[in-house]
């Protein structure tokens, strides 16, 4: 499938789960188009991957929490005359704290990053994929999307959107060769909790954080197999199954305990 002019576009491909996914694609010989905010990190990865895997890496420095940014990414890809065979919507952040105390402007940026950027990029590249009747999309959601999340209410809500919206599109394109896969990781050892200012939460302090390389491998395998959905890790699978059975109020109470500070 890998070809000189064909690329995998990964948002947030410079850290955590996105970086591990980028490595997997690079190992398979795919060229990469990576989107993130930090120019020096993008540059360093581009040089390293080009030498290590002999692939082409395009870097796009963009803050996807800004309204116009995902449209600008589409324009930049178009202007480079390259083809995106696989889109990975991965860049996402969390906002931590009681809803009445968190910053609304930050939360609106999170909604833009975790929802609107996914929607814009998917609409643009899915149309292109459908016209060729080939292509794959991986939407990184979270098990947070399957349960209410006190102290992370907006984050959980954004991930619930990604889960529901992706399932709806899967149905709409079911008779084509294009596939969309949702990856639902549980708590994973990345910079996510630092960025969300929630390193003191019980979940982080006492939780069993997953290895981002393992999460990426699960997502990669499911994507390449054209599966609809993958929950990474058996404990997370059990947690998602439980939250589907227990009353929402009980699940919200259990979720709250993991979010409170443990010190």
Ligand X SMILES: NC(=O)c1ccc[n+]([C@@H]2O[C@H](COP(=O)([O-])OP(=O)(O)OC[C@H]3O[C@@H](n4cnc5c(N)ncnc54)[C@H](OP(=O)(O)O)[C@@H]3O)[C@@H](O)[C@H]2O)c1
How near is the Cβ of 37 to ligand X at its closest, in Å? 3
Q: Can residue 38 be called a binding residue for ligand X (CB under 6 A)?
A: yes
C-beta separation of 142 from 159 below 8 A: yes
Our finding on whether 18 is near ligand X (CB under 6 A) is yes
Give the C-alpha separation, 246 to 251, whole Å. Answer: 7
Where does this chain touch ligand X (CB under 6 A) — which range of 8-16, 97-105, 123-131, 221-229?
8-16
Q: How far is the CB of 134 from ligand X (least distance, A)?
A: 25
Residue 87 binding ligand X, by CB under 6 A = no
Instruction: Give me the least distance between CB of 137 and ligand X, in Å please.
Output: 14
> Please, which residue, 16 or 148, has the CB nearer to ligand X?
16
| Residue 192 is a binding residue for ligand X (CB under 6 A) | yes
Taking CB under 6 A as the rule, which mask of x and - marks residues 113-132 in contact with ligand X?
x-------------------
Query: Which of these segments, 96-104, 168-176, 182-190, 222-230, binds ligand X (CB under 6 A)?
Result: 182-190
Q: Note whether 199 binds ligand X by CB under 6 A.
A: no
End-to-end CA distance of the chain: 50
Residue 102 within binding range of ligand X, rule CB under 6 A: no
Cα(49)–Cα(55) distance, integer angstroms: 7
Q: Compute the distance between CA of residue 207 and CA of residue 213 in angstroms, rounded to an integer.
A: 18
Nearest to 143 by CA among 130, 134, 155, 151: 155
Among 31, 46, 65, 181, binds ligand X (CB under 6 A): 65
Q: Which of residues 201-260 bind ligand X (CB under 6 A)?
A: 212
Residue 53 annotated to the active site: no
Stretch that binds ligand X, among 21-29, 56-64, 127-135, 240-248 (CB under 6 A): 56-64
Strand order in the sheet with 179-184: 57-61, 31-36, 6-11, 83-89, 136-140, 179-184, 229-231
- Min separation Cβ 213 and ligand X, Å: 11
Q: Which residues, in sequence order, are CB contacts of 178 under 8 Å at separation 6+? A: 126, 129, 130, 133, 134, 135, 136, 137
Residues that bind ligand X (CB under 6 A): 11-12, 14-18, 35-38, 41, 62-65, 90-93, 113, 140, 142, 185, 187-188, 190-192, 195, 212
């Amino acid at each position: 499938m890998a070809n000189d002019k064909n690329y995998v576009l990964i948002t947030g491909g410079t850290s955590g789960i996105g970086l591990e996914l980028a490595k997997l694609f690079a190992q398979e010989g795919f060229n990469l188009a990576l989107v993130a905010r930090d120019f020096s990190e993008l540059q360093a990865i581009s040089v390293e991957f080009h030498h290590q895997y002999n692939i082409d890496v395009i870097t796009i420095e963009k803050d996807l929490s800004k309204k116009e940014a995902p449209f600008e990414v589409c324009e930049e890809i178009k202007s480079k005359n390259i083809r995106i065979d696989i889109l990975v919507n991965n860049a996402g952040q969390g906002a931590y704290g009681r809803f009445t105390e968190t910053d609304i402007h930050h939360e609106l940026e999170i909604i833009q990053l975790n929802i609107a950027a996914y929607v814009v990029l998917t609409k643009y590249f899915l149309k292109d994929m459908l016209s060729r009747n080939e292509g794959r999309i991986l939407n990184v959601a979270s098990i947070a999307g399957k349960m209410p999340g006190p102290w992370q209410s907006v984050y959980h809500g954004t991930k619930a959107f990604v889960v529901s919206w992706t399932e709806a599109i899967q149905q709409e394109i079911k008779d084509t060769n294009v596939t969309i896969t949702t990856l639902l990781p549980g708590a994973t050892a990345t910079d996510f909790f630092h960025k969300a200012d929630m390193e003191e939460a019980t979940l982080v302090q006492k939780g069993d954080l997953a290895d981002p390389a393992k999460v990426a491998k699960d997502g990669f395998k499911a994507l390449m197999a054209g599966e609809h959905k993958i929950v990474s890790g058996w404990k997370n699978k059990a947690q998602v199954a439980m939250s589907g059975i227990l009353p929402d109020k009980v699940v919200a109470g259990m979720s709250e305990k993991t979010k409170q500070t443990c010190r």
